[in-house]
Amino acid sequence: MQKRKKIVILGSINMDIILQLTRLPKPGETMKVQKFETAGGGKGANQAVAAARSNAEVHFIGRVGDDQYGKQMCALLKENSINVEHIKIDPSHATGQAYILLQQSGENSILVNSGANASIQSEDIEAAQELIESADVIVAQFEVPLPRIIEAFKIARQAAVQTILNPAPALKVPDELLALTDLVTPNEVEAEMLTDIHVVNKQDAHQAAEKLRMQGVKHVLLTLGSEGSYYLTQTGQEEAVAAYKVKAVDTTGAGDTFIGCLAAKLQNNFENMAQAVRYATKASSLTVQKLGAIPSIPTEKEILAK
């Protein structure tokens, strides 16, 4: 039986405000919203819930505002058995919010107000040093300040803790951070931002992955939406993994489900990369068939039953 992994998530916590539309409005156009809903979200929170629902022991480093959204999100994380000891209540900033424009096609556009997520300080990372050192893996995304990720990954590297970087939303990444990263997981847009290679096929994906490895990353996993994913390991193992063909209702949270589930199942030596990627692929295919981010993330039992 695989050991239950101890995962630290350094990431964002948002309240998602979901606006269902027939399509995106044109410039100057006023449209009616078909339906309005709120749901827990933020890339960090989504990935934490995905990992926890896949039987990982999950701890969170982050910030929320001293407001109702912050209370709701901490309660939601606790409900999913996530340790919130290192989530700080920030009286100076509101809890992060994401406004999701969901079209009838299932595609979405997202506007983010970072709020407290952008105010994570070095003192938050220092306070969590022992936690990071005791973990199997730390996962971070770009909805929190880059300097904090570098600080956390330095602690992890010194303690031989696995580091997974989800470089989303797309930004240029300092070489210092890439050199501290064991596994980087960009999508096509993020891969192009990192490498200047436009990824449309496996050959492009291989070139982008090789370039990232030359920049210091040990392992690369590119997520390619409906085309699946492609990975290249430090030992040269590579594979293009097909996506499951399903009818997408809402793609929000699919990538985060993939990352969280992957982190929960990937061995520290990366020897089970193929199996972990397939597990994560199946999980994300279930997520897109339901509305919302956290509400749609499947459990390990649901994933293995399909």
Residue numbers annotated as active site: 256
Ligand-binding annotation for 66, yes or no, is: no
Ligand-binding annotation for 11, yes or no, is: no
Ligand-binding annotation for 255, yes or no, is: yes
Q: Which phi and psi (to 5°) does residue 40 adopt?
A: -65, 145
Ligand-binding annotation for 28, yes or no, is: no
Give yes or no for a contact between 64 and 95, defined as CB atoms under 8 angstroms apart: yes
Give yes or no for a contact between 249 and 288, defined as CB atoms under 8 angstroms apart: yes
Ligand-binding annotation for 250, yes or no, is: yes
Q: Which phi and psi (to 5°) does residue 39 adopt?
A: -155, 150
Ligand-binding annotation for 21, yes or no, is: no
d(C-alpha 77, C-alpha 86), whole Å: 12
Alpha-carbon distances of 23 from 33, 131, 291, rounded to whole Å: 10, 45, 16
Ligand-binding annotation for 252, yes or no, is: yes
Ligand-binding annotation for 195, yes or no, is: no
d(C-alpha 140, C-alpha 43), whole Å: 9
Q: Which residue has the tokens 């964002």?
A: 12
Task: Provide the 3-class DSSP secondary structure of residue 38.
Answer: strand
- Nearby residues of 22 by Cβ (< 8 Å), 6 or more positions away: 31, 34, 103, 104
Ligand-binding annotation for 44, yes or no, is: yes
Ligand-binding annotation for 15, yes or no, is: yes
Ligand-binding annotation for 175, yes or no, is: no
Binding residues for K(+): 250, 252, 287, 290, 292, 296
Binding residues for substrate: 14-16, 42-46, 143, 256
Binding residues: 14-16, 42-46, 143, 187, 223-228, 250, 252, 255-256, 287, 290, 292, 296
Binding residues for ATP: 187, 223-228, 255-256
